[in-house]
């Protein structure tokens, strides 16, 4: 338990009252109860009543801190006195993660993981059983491992903030059978069918195939300012792609010829400063699948990227170029794309053709 002397009362020149006390020889001054989750605000009262209200504030703060309450720095996260319970630490860890420069979808996943966990916590202390119960809602290996990964990210941040241990370390991942998106053998026919269905989806699929970009964020969020003046290259900064590094992507002529450059800050699909909603292409693809006469089982939007990678290998005959373009040490690993603006391994002549 933390013990402090009873707070003293002070007053500013403009007659605002406050209480002050010392912790480790450092003086702390509070004008209201916000920092102890109290609505008491003496200075919101008439001047002749402020003395009475600030005395009540002093009593509340004294009782709160001496009963183990937590006081953090003014406008900061560092704990001045008191000890946070696991639930409070986890909440603070989530706030830290949400303030970092992650994608909206990842932040949404972290928030979901946090809410799922605390709904299964029997008290304010985190246990391995709480985590196991949270994960047990998922029998699908991908969903299970995804939730485990997001919980692990929260726990690692919570460790920095005072959590004693990471319970996920003793909980194994669920074994996953490796799968690949089935490539297309009739790429041009599929693309023509998509073109007749929806032109925006067609352009998205074409760029997924020809530029090796991911459809749901990197392509969906493209602006005309991301293209070079001649529309020959796409430039993406590290915060715009999954690799976290600056990237440059050649634009094949069969895509370039379809593009009509607009305002620099305008999205290439919406025609204004706002991109299409996050599920736009996912929804379109789901609807297209129901009507398509050519799609086979296992073929998805990402199959265009898989097919494009195979085309690169066929055209260049270089495993090294393929591996660098897709960002993995093995061609059997899930496909990613060219990483590093300064490593210009690919030119337009190497890119997939229809």
Q: Within 10 Å of residue 275's Cβ, how many Cβ atoms?
A: 17
Q: At what angle do helices 187-197 and 199-210 cross, to 10 degrees?
A: 150
pLDDT tens per residue, range 47-70: 999 999 999 999 998 888 877 777
Task: Give the H/E segment covering residue 23.
Answer: strand 17-23
CB 1 within 8 A of CB 11: no
For residue 106, give the nearest of 114, 89, 212 by alpha carbon. 114
Residue 266 near residue 224, CB atoms below 8 Å? yes
Torsion, Cα 181 187 189 192, to 10 degrees, reads: 90
Distance CA 335, CA 344 (A): 18
Pairwise CA distance, residues 238 & 75, whole Å: 30
Per-residue pLDDT of the chain (354 residues; tens, 9 = 90+): 445 778 999 999 999 999 998 877 788 899 998 888 889 999 999 999 999 999 999 999 888 887 777 787 676 666 666 566 788 789 888 988 898 888 888 899 999 999 999 999 988 889 999 999 999 988 888 889 999 999 999 999 888 877 888 999 999 888 766 555 688 889 999 999 999 999 999 999 999 999 888 898 889 999 999 999 999 999 888 677 665 667 788 899 999 999 999 999 999 999 999 999 989 999 999 999 999 999 998 899 988 988 887 787 777 766 677 666 664 445 444 334 333 223 344 555 666 677
Question: What residues contact 220, with CB distance under 8 A and at least 6 apart?
Answer: 204, 269, 275, 276, 278, 280, 281
**pTM of the predicted structure, to 2 decimals:** 0.54
**Side-chain half-sphere exposure of 221, counting CA atoms within 13 A:** 14
C-beta pairs of 34-40 under 8 Å, 24+ apart in sequence: 35/71, 35/72, 35/74, 36/60, 36/61, 36/64, 36/65, 36/69, 36/71, 38/64
Domains for the chain: give ranges and CATH numbers: 8-78 (no CATH), 86-170 (1.10.150), 187-350 (1.10.443.10)
- For 141, residues 6+ apart whose C-beta sits below 8 A from its C-beta are 174, 175, 176, 177
pLDDT in tens, 86-110: 887 898 889 888 988 888 888 999 9
């Amino acid at each position: 338990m933390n013990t402090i002397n009873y707070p003293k009362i002070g007053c500013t020149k403009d007659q605002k009252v406050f209480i002050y006390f010392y912790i480790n020889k450092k003086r702390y001054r509070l004008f209201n109860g916000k920092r102890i989750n109290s609505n008491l605000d003496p200075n919101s009262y008439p001047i002749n009543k402020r003395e009475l209200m600030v005395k009540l504030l002093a009593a509340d703060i004294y009782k709160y801190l001496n009963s183990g309450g937590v006081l953090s720095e003014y406008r900061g996260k560092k704990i001045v006195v008191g000890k946070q319970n696991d639930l409070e630490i986890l909440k603070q860890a989530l706030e830290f993660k949400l303030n970092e420069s992650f994608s909206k979808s990842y932040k949404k996943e972290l928030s979901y993981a946090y809410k799922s966990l605390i709904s299964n916590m029997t008290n304010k202390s985190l246990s391995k059983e709480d985590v196991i119960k949270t994960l047990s809602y998922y029998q699908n290996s991908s969903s299970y491992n995804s939730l485990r990964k997001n919980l692990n990210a929260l726990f690692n941040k919570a460790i920095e903030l005072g959590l004693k241990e990471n319970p996920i370390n003793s909980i194994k991942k669920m074994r996953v059978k490796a799968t690949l998106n089935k490539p297309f053998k009739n790429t041009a026919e599929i693309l023509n069918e998509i073109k007749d269905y929806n032109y925006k989806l067609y352009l998205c699929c074409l760029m997924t195939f020809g530029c090796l970009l991911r459809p749901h964020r990197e392509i969906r969020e493209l602006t005309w300012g991301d293209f070079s003046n001649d529309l020959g290259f796409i430039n993406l900064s590290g915060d715009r792609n999954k690799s976290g590094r600056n990237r440059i992507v050649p634009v094949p002529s069969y895509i370039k010829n379809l593009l009509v450059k607009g305002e620099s800050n305008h999205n290439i699909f919406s025609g204004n400063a706002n991109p299409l909603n996050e599920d736009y292409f996912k929804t379109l693809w789901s609807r297209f699948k129901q009507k398509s006469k050519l799609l086979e089982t296992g073929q998805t939007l990402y199959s265009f990227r898989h097919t494009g990678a195979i085309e690169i290998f066929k055209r260049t005959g270089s495993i090294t170029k393929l591996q660098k373009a897709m960002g993995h040490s093995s061609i059997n690993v899930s496909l990613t794309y060219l990483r590093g603006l300064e490593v210009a391994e690919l030119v337009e002549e190497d890119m997939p053709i229809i």
